[in-house]
Amino acid sequence: MYSREITIVNESGLHARPASDFVKLAGTFQSRIELKRLGEEKTYNAKSIIMLMSLGLAQGEKAILSAEGEDEKEAVDALAELVANLEG
């Protein structure tokens, strides 16, 4: 398993279009990908728009992005970069 801490920089958080972009990219990887709010135990399937929207990460919040599988490092690194560069 490979994990990284990420910070939500988008002013609208990880909602609507940003969440859709995230799920679309996550779906291109074979690994199981999960996201959880820093300090919480509950994990969310990062390939599910419903799960991601219910997590409701706002601007400035930190989360742990993790993946397990054959392309886990590539998945986490690509998604972390996407989150760092999401706008609007």
13 is catalytic: no
Annotated catalytic residue, options 15, 51, 71, 80: 15
**Among candidates 7, 30, 28, 33, which has minimal Cα distance to 86?**
7
Decide: 63 and 35 in contact? Cβ < 8 Å.
yes
- Tokens matching residue 31: 């690994």
* Cα–Cα distance measured from residue 72 to residue 58, given in angstroms and rounded to the nearest whole number: 25
Beta bridge partners of residue 45, listed in sequence order: 34
The catalytic residue positions are 15
